[in-house]
Amino acid sequence: MAETDTETDTEKDAETDRESTRDWRPLVVAGALVAACGGLVLYGVLDTEDKPAKPPVPTAAVTYEVTGKGTADITYESAGGRASVARAAQLPWKKTVRVPLGRSPLVAITLGEKGGRAGCSLAVEGRHVQAASAYGRFGRATCQAETASPQDTAATE
């Protein structure tokens, strides 16, 4: 019977050795990952301070008008201050866009090979600002204006 007790004690010692040498690294790494993810979530929840929205850019209504007969290539400043081109636009042509204050809205016309006569005009906030005429083959005309600067409008508010 002493032999069975010895074998049982040896088995118990081997099992205890296996438990004491268990590799805990995967559990430690998993715990660290869970803690890091929890920290990021908590940071996102706590960092929800309302940030002020960018104030909208003040704009002015600009009306471009091209009169005449036939067609013309028309280049103009569109909404947001980007240049746009209407190729072989049928005349008469008219377009109203909102242009950021401080920009210089512009409309330019170019007649085609057949020539002709056309005129451009520009109005800012309904007030006529400039007019020009083009005539002949590949005739050109440009109308440009100044809009109030954003600082000028802030002072009057």
C-alpha span between 66 and 120 (Å, rounded)? 4
pLDDT for residue 155:
47
DSSP 18: H
Low-confidence ranges of the chain (pLDDT < 70): 1-22, 44-50, 151-157
Q: Which residues pair with 65 in a beta bridge?
A: 94, 121
C-alpha span between 131 and 113 (Å, rounded)? 23
C-alpha span between 26 and 29 (Å, rounded)? 5
C-alpha span between 37 and 139 (Å, rounded)? 67
pLDDT for residue 152:
56
Helix (H, G, I), strand (E, B) or coil at 86: strand
CB 92 within 8 A of CB 109: no
Query: H or E stretch including 143?
Result: strand 140-144
Owner of token pair 């569109």: 78
pLDDT for residue 9:
61
Most distant CA pair in the chain, distance: 125
pLDDT for residue 49:
64
55-75 confidence digits (pLDDT tens): 788 889 999 999 999 999 999
C-alpha span between 100 and 55 (Å, rounded)? 13
